């Protein structure tokens, strides 16, 4: 999930971190030591069925000397398939993950990686509220989700970066940029596929929502770039097939101006802001866009950029916040207190209570060093990313680069979302500078259907697809499970919407 640009609630911002070193030293992308790798030192685990339900099995790889993966069976949530949980151990940092096999054909189906956004929000929201095999309705009430994305795919849910969900650090270690987080994710992916050979060569899709608009392009690029060094070391490259971004905030140059469209024009619902306020917003837009471009993108002036963002928030966003609507679904009311207490969705607190149960934590294998009540979003992580302006990094550059290399990209958006809305996302896709830009922009929007029902509009050309989902908000799989699953199934199968 994601909130206002300057909010400390759990939800927006990105860092102008220099990635020059990462570009000049590509070995660092995956944290690997490929030059010293000795194939004779490696014995893969191979079969997930050999894992224990009572204790972790630790997996390592000589090409990644600073990384281990602890994994165990955790047969919960979906009684029809095998489930696993564990930690990605990066020396003193530990990232928690869930893994569910496909309900269809786990030995042949694709693999999906999923992360929620924030920055700082746990992927338990995606798992237990949106697209996972079960939904938590109350502390002792968990039900089967027939629209889970593991209907036709094996799927990971990861709590990242450090400090999110059940992830933890031994000595207060932190991660403060998306590029730093990408190193850990790329290494984990390589170790997993090397150990469990039955997954090698399978189509791999990296997916996320909200701040995932920044995470997923960066993570997918790190996995892609790491492949060259896997091949050079005699290892199997990851078959990175696509990136899937749901209601993502990727480019603030298009997203911030779109707030006027969503609150003052009938783009998904009737205008929710008064005429006088809309006039003020319209007058402030040119200065906001100009200042944002000059201070945040043409230069990396943190002080000026922060001031520009504050100006845009005050004049473009503030009228919406005072209107009393849910920023994740314009069809629903939500007070300021409700936003801070439950992100406008009381079920998030019920998920937290469920994950506070001692028996649940034991089943999951949550490390005993993780104390206190579960929190869906970590404000400290959010603050660190915000303080570095991590969101201002042009993540759309990564998307364009992936497209140029044949990696497919799906941008899907629930139409009722305000914070990372369809208007801003559509404009971002039209503005992408890649060799297929003109062909993509020339395609008209058309309906896509489930049966005879039009459920959204789409535009597609080559490896890039944009799609909306009618009646859905920020968490589209929560609002429209059937339609979201149908979209994903067609995407995985390579079919047109």
Residue 172: its pLDDT value, please? 87
Q: Residue 14 pLDDT > 80, yes or no?
A: no
Kindly tell me the burial class for residue 54, based on how many C-beta atoms sit within 10 Å of its own C-beta (0-12, 13-18, 19 or more).
exposed
Q: What tokens were used for 275?
A: 């005429």
Residue 25: its pLDDT value, please? 38
Q: Is 205 a catalytic residue?
A: no
d(CA 483, CA 127): 17
| Stretch 36-57: mean pLDDT | 68
Higher pLDDT: 25 or 490? It is: 490
Residue 247: its pLDDT value, please? 98
d(CA 312, CA 254): 13
Q: What tokens were used for 185?
A: 């994710």
Q: Residue 22 pLDDT > 50, yes or no?
A: no
d(CA 121, CA 10): 7
Q: What is the pLDDT of residues 366-376, one digit of tens each?
A: 999 998 899 99
Mean model confidence pLDDT for the chain: 89
Give the bridge partners for 100, in sequence order.
83, 155
Q: Name the pLDDT band for 4 (thresholds 50, 70, 90).
A: very low
- Active-site hit among 4, 148, 167, 210: 210
d(CA 471, CA 456): 9
Class of domain 20-253+392-493 (CATH, top level) = alpha beta
Q: Is 94 a catalytic residue?
A: no
Q: What is the pLDDT of residues 407-426, one digit of tens each?
A: 999 999 999 999 999 999 99
Q: Which residues of 72-106 are buried (b: 16+ CB within 10 A; e: fewer)?
A: bbbebbbeebbbbbbbbbbeebbbbbbbbbbbeeb
d(CA 211, CA 229): 28
Q: What tokens were used for 114?
A: 């999923």
Q: Residue 26 pLDDT > 80, yes or no?
A: no
- Active-site hit among 251, 329, 396, 417: 417
Spatial CB neighbours of 58, under 8 Å, sequence gap ≥ 6: 68, 69, 70, 89
Look up tokens 């999951």; give the residue: 364
Q: Residue 453 pLDDT > 50, yes or no?
A: yes
Q: Name the pLDDT band for 40 (thresholds 50, 70, 90).
A: low
How many Å from the N-terminal Cα to the C-terminal Cα in the chain?
A: 26
Q: Residue 464 pLDDT > 50, yes or no?
A: yes
Residue 440: its pLDDT value, please? 98
The bridge status of strand 83-90 relative to strand 93-100 is antiparallel
Comparing CA positions, the residue from 496, 477, 492 lying closest to residue 104 is: 492
Does an H or E element contain 87, and which? Answer: strand 83-90
The predicted model scores a pTM of 0.92
- How many CB atoms are closer than 10 A to CB 377? 24
**SS3 label, residue 253:** helix
Q: Is 340 a catalytic residue?
A: no
d(CA 14, CA 101): 33
For the chain, give the longest Cα–Cα distance: 72
**SS3 label, residue 102:** coil
Q: Name the pLDDT band for 108 (thresholds 50, 70, 90).
A: very high
């Amino acid at each position: 999930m994601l909130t206002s640009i300057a909010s400390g609630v759990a939800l927006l911002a990105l860092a102008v971190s220099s990635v020059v070193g990462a570009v000049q030293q590509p070995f660092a992308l995956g944290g690997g030591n490929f030059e010293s790798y000795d194939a004779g030192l490696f014995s893969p685990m191979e079969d997930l069925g050999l894992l224990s339900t009572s204790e972790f099995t630790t997996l390592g790889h000589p090409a990644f000397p600073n990384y281990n993966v602890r994994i165990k069976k955790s047969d919960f949530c979906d009684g029809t398939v095998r489930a696993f949980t564990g930690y990605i151990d990066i020396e003193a940092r530990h990232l928690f993950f869930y893994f569910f096999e496909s309900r269809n054909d786990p030995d042949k189906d694709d693999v999906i990686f999923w992360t929620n956004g924030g920055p700082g929000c746990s992927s338990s929201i995606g798992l237990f509220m949106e697209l996972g095999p079960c939904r938590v309705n109350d502390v002792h009430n968990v039900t089967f989700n027939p629209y889970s994305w593991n209907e036709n795919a094996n799927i990971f849910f990861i709590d990242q970066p450090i400090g999110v969900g059940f992830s933890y650090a031994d000595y207060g270690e932190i991660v403060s940029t998306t590029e730093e987080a990408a190193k850990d994710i790329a290494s984990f992916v390589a170790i997993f596929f090397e150990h469990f050979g039955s997954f090698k060569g399978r189509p791999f899709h990296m997916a996320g929502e909200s701040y995932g608009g920044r995470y997923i392009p960066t993570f997918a690029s790190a996995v892609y770039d790491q492949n060259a060094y896997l091949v050079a070391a005699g290892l199997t490259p990851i078959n990175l097939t696509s990136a899937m971004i749901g209601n993502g905030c990727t480019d603030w140059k298009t997203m911030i101006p779109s707030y006027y469209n969503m609150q003052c024009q009938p783009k998904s619902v009737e205008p929710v802001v008064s005429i006088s306020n809309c006039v003020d917003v319209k007058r402030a837009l040119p200065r906001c866009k100009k200042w944002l471009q000059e201070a945040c993108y043409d230069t990396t002036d943190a002080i000026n950029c922060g001031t520009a963002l504050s100006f845009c928030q005050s004049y473009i966003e503030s009228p919406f916040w005072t209107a009393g609507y849910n920023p994740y679904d314009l069809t629903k009311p939500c007070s300021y207190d409700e936003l801070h207490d439950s992100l406008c969705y009381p079920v998030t607190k019920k998920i937290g209570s469920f994950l506070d149960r001692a028996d649940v934590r034991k089943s999951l294998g949550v490390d005993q060093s993780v104390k206190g009540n579960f929190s869906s979003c970590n404000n400290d992580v959010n603050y660190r990313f915000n303080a570095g302006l991590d969101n201002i990094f042009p993540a759309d550059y990564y998307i364009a680069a992936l497209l140029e290399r044949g990696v497919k990209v799906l941008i899907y958006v629930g139409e009722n979302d305000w914070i990372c809305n369809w208007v801003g996302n559509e404009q971002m896709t039209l503005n992408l500078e890649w060799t297929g830009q003109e062909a993509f922009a020339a395609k008209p929007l058309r309906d896509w259907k489930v049966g005879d029902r039009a459920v959204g509009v789409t535009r597609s050309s080559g490896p890039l697809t944009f799609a909306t989902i009618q009646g859905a908000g920020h968490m589209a799989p929560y609002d429209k499970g059937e339609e979201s699953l149908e979209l994903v199934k067609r995407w995985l199968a390579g079919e047109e919407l």
